[in-house]
Structure 1
């Protein structure tokens, strides 16, 4: 008996098998939670706090980088190498934290419409107003086009979780790596390198591809379409002009050139620290996002769900939480440590998940369902093993 079969048997012996779960009652129990929901000013203020924390991290990061570059390359003084690198790298880390916070703690819930029902909510914090048109440059300037990510994530991922039509199906997306005739250590190396640039290499072109194929019903056909980074193709020009260049030019050309009065060496140093900040942002976001639905104890499904109760069941069986606690802990995880609650209630504020977690746990206990919650560091190791093909996901037979 293989390790996979042993693990599957253990789960089925401890928890109610998929086909035996009372999906109708599960739907009633979860729908009952919705009747208690009242989104209000408190939730909005919680969002503003998370936004302030992210902006503070970003501005402090830029301040430290600017300070060390100016001090080191001005004619007044020169920093020791240790001080230069210590504060420069710290600034890069803070920029990375702010980058992830802007995506996970602010953009993510707003584009789900989480605060739309707050009375008198400013338009810029609503799904209809956030990052629209020129506001992209203020609200969420990144490699990813907001509209494309909203469709890829909010629609395709959330409503096809664990299915072949889920664009973020890690095992399916990395079949090419599983089949590659290379040593296992090279597969691990590819994953680790990819983690440092995945927003640019995967998320930007993938969201473009998904949005362009909005009317295509087959994800298999979409996956067979290669990305085009060439500016000499129509798709490539769109990728560069609408996705990559707005952020790339501002972050890695405009900002470093502000230091040109101090010489090209200062420009190069600023560019290097900003590039390092981008690397940290990629690693941080990869750490908290990718393991949410990908490991050997996560279920996948071969057919669409047939009822709302079955939809709820799949969100539970196809998701995993990380350690939760204070706002600071949750902020560091981008509130993605409440992934089960988020997938059950995707259009709810982050503050809601903290309140609902105990109730969702009780519902899982009532139906004898596994509520997965572990350290994000343990989960990332399990995810990487899945990505290189060392392990495989669980599958519910026939569904």
Structure 2
């Protein structure tokens, strides 16, 4: 029943999905333009808000769904050419495509490896690179006072894209490159699931990752794009003082974008009402669909404005069931999936994102733990790897 719904939604995608994508792209560009036009003004929340929304929507809505293949079966010529909004084309292959399509702290190819290929098919497992409870085990088990743990969480929220996500996704890409080249070492295999942060990269904890390559290939282009090229016209036109204003606005934008991204991304697979698993399962099986529901949470959803505020990541249950759908298709899928879950008595969690933030922070600092799925209770042998 669930698989049939996914197939039906994919077949229904067409011109309306392309037009919807065009609307979202226009909104994202408008946010960015409004931010850039006021970048020279004394540091202010209006500039920061518009610029942040531009960066945020370009990743979570346009880049995310495009790189999943959500528009591969849709004619996107009216939006930006026949191949612009297609997987393995959008932001891939060159610095130029990255700059034009989606410039961010993460390398798109690395993000695809970590998120699309591993996280989605190892959801809630120890091998899931985005499993909050596992990744924050040192903080959870640490003996720091609770207020210190909260301060560390605040730092993580404000910096996580360049401090954690960019290096860790790059590590997953390098591991895959070594595997394809058949050059894996025992050290690499042993550190496959180890988390790489900027701190551990600089300390050389994972020696087979080059800090120099990381900087020139991954975060260096974003730094040059964001803090050199974007404010450069202001320096040339308005002078030094306005240039400093622009730099401060961009720094504040990065902090706000990190926090907004944390709210929309990190909170949708963490909480004491969600499950983690000890085994792996095959994709597109009943077990796979079940895990998408009981290890994910949806937020408020249903309208383009509400969905935009959540970066279209408020449909995590449906997205993990059917990763390669358009944004519009998730709006159509949500009530149908919820009805199916109700029909079969499967718990379907849909809550306010701020409440999910509280639950996520509780997991991070060790105040709560995720549920362990009772393996063997249901016969899943046909679905397992």
Distance 1:229 1:137, change over 3 A: farther
Contact kept, 8 Å, 2:139 with 2:149, in 1: the verdict is yes
Q: How many residues align?
A: 353
Contact kept, 8 Å, 2:18 with 2:75, in 1: the verdict is no
Cα distance in 2 between the residues matched to 1:315 and 1:280: 29
Contact kept, 8 Å, 1:229 with 1:239, in 2: the verdict is no
Q: Which structure 2 residues correspond to residues 26-175 of structure 1 after superposition, within 5 A?
A: 29-37=1-9, 38-66=12-40, 68=41, 84-85=42-43, 88-119=44-75, 121=77, 122-132=82-92, 133=94, 134-175=96-137
Query: Given the alignment, which residue of 167, 172, 189 partners 2:151?
Result: 189
Contact kept, 8 Å, 2:135 with 2:195, in 1: the verdict is no
Q: Does 1:394 align with 2:364?
A: no
* Higher CA-based Rg: 1
Cα distance in 1 between the residues matched to 2:21 and 2:84: 13
Q: Does 1:224 align with 2:194?
A: yes
> Alpha-carbon deviation of 1:255?
2.5
> Alpha-carbon deviation of 1:228?
1.6
Query: Given the alignment, which residue of 198, 218, 221 partners 2:160?
Result: 198
Contact kept, 8 Å, 1:296 with 1:394, in 2: the verdict is yes
> Alpha-carbon deviation of 1:357?
1.2
Q: Does 1:237 align with 2:216?
A: no
> Alpha-carbon deviation of 1:131?
0.6
> Alpha-carbon deviation of 1:117?
0.7
Cα distance in 1 between the residues matched to 2:111 and 2:287: 26
Counterpart in the other structure of 2:305: 328
Q: TM-score if structure 2 supplies the norm length?
A: 0.87
Cα distance in 1 between the residues matched to 2:209 and 2:325: 38
Please, what is the CA RMSD of the aligned residues?
2.1
Q: TM-score if structure 1 supplies the norm length?
A: 0.84
Q: Does 1:247 align with 2:219?
A: no
Task: Name structure 1 gaps, 5 residues minimum.
Answer: 1-28, 69-83
Which stretches of structure 1, 4 residues or longer, exceed 6 Å deviation after superposition?
216-220, 230-233
Distance 1:188 1:156, change over 3 A: same
Counterpart in the other structure of 2:323: 346
